[in-house]
Amino acid sequence: MKFVSIITKSFKEQIRNYWVLLLTLSMGPFFLFIYDLMTESSPQQYKICVVNTDRGITVEDSFVNYGSDFQFFFKQKGNSMAAVTFSVCTAAGKEQGIEMVRNNKADILIIIDRLFSQTIEKKLANDHTNLPQVEFIGDLTSQKYLISAVWINEMINEYISKVTGSKRVVEVKETPLGESGAIGEFDLLVPGILIISLIMLMFTASIAFVSEVENKTIIRLKLSKLPPLAYFGGISVVQLLIGVLAVLLTLFTAILLGFGYSGSLPVMVLVAVLTSMSMIAFSLVVAAITKSANEVLVVGCFPMFLFMFFSGAAFPMHSNTLFTIAGYPITFQGLMSPSHAISALNKTLIMNMKVSDIMPEIISIIVLSIIYFGVGALIFKRRHLRTL
């Protein structure tokens, strides 16, 4: 009964504070619009710039240039790949090519050696002293460079074995997992943004918990016989609704903007609900150590930035093992529920994995929620709800 009263009261207050509510709800869609403006929504494109310095060779009165031949072969292959698209362009010289990589006009620059044709002809004549040379230039930390390099490497091997008729030692086959080959940069960002829209929930939830402390109405609640759990629970239910609404709005916006997902929506909603719960539980910790909305806004920034930047929501992260519990490694990231949520969403929405595949994430989120809630409730009770 009291639980229901708290829910209705909290719901009314939340709706009447529509300004804060609107901001929270619009956060995810807003980020998506911005990202959509900034990124291409077409499938990932790998831009390859080729500089052909091959001088060619005259064999039996005909001039051959294996360099340009390779380029042609390479272009054809690039267009025939279904999952990943490569676009090939040429530059006049090395300098120009490097400039293009620097300006992000190309992800990788390949320079075909001037003796490319010559070495191939020698190889045909069974002279193996020199091998055909190709130089790769690019930003080694860029994921696009790496993927392009792997692929070009494979192309070169294929081409050489084709023209020289030599047997290939290894044949590499690349199979993208789930939809990971076909999805664009935008699609990649959506799971992170879905979680960011939930991280924002931390503010409304903390403020909802702490507002009673701030306007001192907590004194009235202390004097009535309101069980703390009813208080926490009632507010949490309303915040959970907001969380689910925020995720659905974000997802809806994403789909409108052409989000290509593969996994099941119910699983996504399940992950969102669990993540909302963990964020609400975490909010209780924030509310417990603050006394007003202003303090929440300051204190809340610490976990918000942690969650946004170091959980993988904004960009992928890796972290070291802090300690192990019963052989299970605990990382700093592992202590933040959003990182599990993002991992779970990536698995379902991009790699099309089933619920059973994301069980470890689901369990982690639940366990973390319980820990956050326990700590938050304990401190909140001691600091704000203590009676005689």
Partner 1 sequence: MVKTNVPQIVAIQIHNLTRRFGELTAVNGLSLEIYRNEIFGLLGPNGAGKTTTINMICGLLPVSEGKITFPGNVRKDRRSFIGYCPQENIYYPKLTCLEQLLFMGQMYDQPFQLLKKRAFKLLHLLGLDDKTNVMAGNLSGGMKRRLNICLALIHDPEIVILDEPEAGLDPQSRMLVRDYIRSCKKEKTVILTTHNMDEADRITDRLAIIDHGKLLLLDTPQNLKKTMGEGDILEMLTEDVSESVLNDFIEKMKLFPIQLTRNGNILLFTHTDMINRVVEIKKLAEESGLKIEELKFRENTLEDVFIHLTGRSLRQ
CB of 6 to partner 1, least distance (A): 8
Q: How far is CA 294 from the centre of its chain?
A: 31
- Please name every residue paired with 45 in a beta bridge, in sequence order, or none if there are none: 85
**2 belongs to the binding site for partner 1 (CB under 8 A):** yes
Token duo for residue 365: 């989120």
Binding part of the chain for partner 1, among 2-10, 28-36, 82-90, 186-194 by CB under 8 A, reads 2-10
CB 369 within 8 A of CB 281: yes
Closer of 210 and 362 to partner 1 (Cβ): 210
Helices (H), 165-264: 185-199, 201-214, 217-223, 228-256
**294 belongs to the binding site for partner 1 (CB under 8 A):** no
CB 109 within 8 A of CB 145: no
CB of 219 to partner 1, least distance (A): 6
Binding part of the chain for partner 1, among 8-16, 30-38, 287-295, 326-334 by CB under 8 A, reads 8-16
Closer of 114 and 222 to partner 1 (Cβ): 222
By three-state DSSP, how is residue 206 classified?
A: helix
The residue count for binding partner 1 (CB under 8 A) is 21
Amino acid at 291: K
Binding to partner 1 (CB under 8 A) within 47-66 occurs at none
Token duo for residue 279: 């964020």
296-303 LR contacts (CB < 8 Å, sep 24+): 296/203, 296/206, 296/207, 296/210, 297/203, 300/202, 300/203, 300/206, 303/202
Binding to partner 1 (CB under 8 A) within 320-379 occurs at none
CB 284 within 8 A of CB 376: yes
Token duo for residue 142: 């860029």
Binding to partner 1 (CB under 8 A) within 209-268 occurs at 215-217, 219-226
**x-or-dash pattern for partner 1, window 153-192, by CB under 8 A?**
----------------------------------------
Q: Which of 37, 325, 326, 388 binds partner 1 (CB under 8 A)?
A: 388
1 Cβ contact list (under 8 Å, min separation 6): none
Closer of 82 and 223 to partner 1 (Cβ): 223
Residues contributing to the site for partner 1 (CB under 8 A): 1-2, 5, 9, 12-13, 16-17, 215-217, 219-226, 387-388
